[in-house]
């Protein structure tokens, strides 16, 4: 305790828990995700075709393991609390916990990314620790200010094998749980979210490049045809002008002869 610290401040400083060494882990593996175009949603608006980046990192020790999944949007910066899923495995307690504690906040919303991340986390845990228990947690009411958002959240969790429990009939305080890791579902709606492997991405780029070359070739042919038509149009206009002048000359000549 320093001279300026009270006993309460000293006790508070002594009980502060240092951050976990894995708390600031960044992704070390990356994949490409294709978000299929969907009909325009009344609340979220247009849902066009998009490509986003999936980052992944995992660490293991005899005591615990962790998987972190990150969704990154090209040209868009988000809070560190958004688009992150954490899966922690406690090997001593034989328990798996899904996080972060602040809740799973995904953007863009209503594109199937929430189910995808939960499915990836369940698949990772089931490979080694399918018999582990699942640690439940609270679902903050502030994250779902409207009834439709609450139903969408509950449907997402229940589809992946989680149980939703409400503390009262007003359905304000909710929690999620699951008996074991093996109960969770490692699948998702592949019509909405598709993993693009490196070779597939390269093939898509090659096909896009071929399409661009074909379009440039077609545009060149159309431009040449338009130039040819312009030249022909100019020739026709000159011919018509000459015929008009000649006709006027003939008419004037006939009028002159008739009046003479």
Pick the more confident residue, 128 or 23.
128
What's the pLDDT tens digit per position in 11-53? 454 456 677 888 888 888 999 999 999 999 887 789 999 999 9
Note if the bond before 98 is cis, omega within 30 degrees: no
Cβ-based neighbour number of residue 209 at 10 Å = 10
pLDDT at 114 over 90: yes
Eight-state DSSP code of residue 188: -
- DSSP summary character for residue 143: G
pLDDT digits (tens, 9 = 90+) for 155-202: 999 999 999 998 877 777 889 999 999 999 999 999 999 999 878 888
Q: What is the pLDDT of residues 218-230, one digit of tens each?
A: 888 898 888 888 8
C-beta of residue 99 within 8 angstroms of C-beta of residue 22? no
Long-range own/partner contacts, residues 18-21 (CB < 8 A, 24 or more apart): none
pTM above 0.85, yes or no: no
> Are the C-beta atoms of residues 192 and 36 closer than 8 Å to each other?
yes
């Amino acid at each position: 305790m320093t001279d300026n610290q009270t006993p309460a401040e000293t006790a508070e400083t002594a009980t502060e828990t240092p951050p976990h060494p894995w708390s600031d882990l960044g992704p070390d593996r990356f994949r490409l995700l294709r978000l299929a175009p969907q009909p325009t949603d009344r609340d979220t608006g247009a849902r066009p075709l998009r490509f986003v980046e999936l980052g992944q990192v995992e660490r293991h020790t005899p005591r615990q393991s962790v998987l972190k999944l990150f969704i990154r949007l090209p040209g868009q910066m988000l809070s560190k609390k958004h688009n992150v899923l954490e899966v922690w495995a406690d090997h001593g307690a034989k328990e798996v916990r899904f996080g972060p504690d602040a809740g799973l906040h995904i953007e863009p919303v209503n594109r199937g990314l929430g189910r995808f991340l939960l499915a990836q986390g369940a698949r990772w845990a089931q490979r080694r620790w399918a018999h582990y228990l699942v640690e439940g947690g609270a679902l903050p009411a502030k994250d779902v200010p409207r009834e439709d958002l609450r139903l969408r959240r509950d449907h997402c969790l229940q589809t992946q094998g989680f149980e939703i429990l409400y503390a009262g009939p007003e359905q304000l305080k909710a929690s999620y749980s699951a008996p074991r890791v093996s109960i969770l579902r490692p699948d998702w709606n592949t019509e909405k979210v598709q993993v693009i492997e490196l070779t597939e991405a390269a093939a898509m780029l090659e096909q896009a490049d071929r399409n661009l070359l074909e379009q440039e070739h077609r545009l060149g042919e159309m431009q040449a045809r338009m130039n040819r038509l312009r030249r022909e149009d100019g020739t026709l206009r000159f011919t018509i002008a000459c015929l008009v002048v000649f006709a006027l000359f003939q008419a004037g000549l006939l009028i002159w002869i008739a009046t003479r």
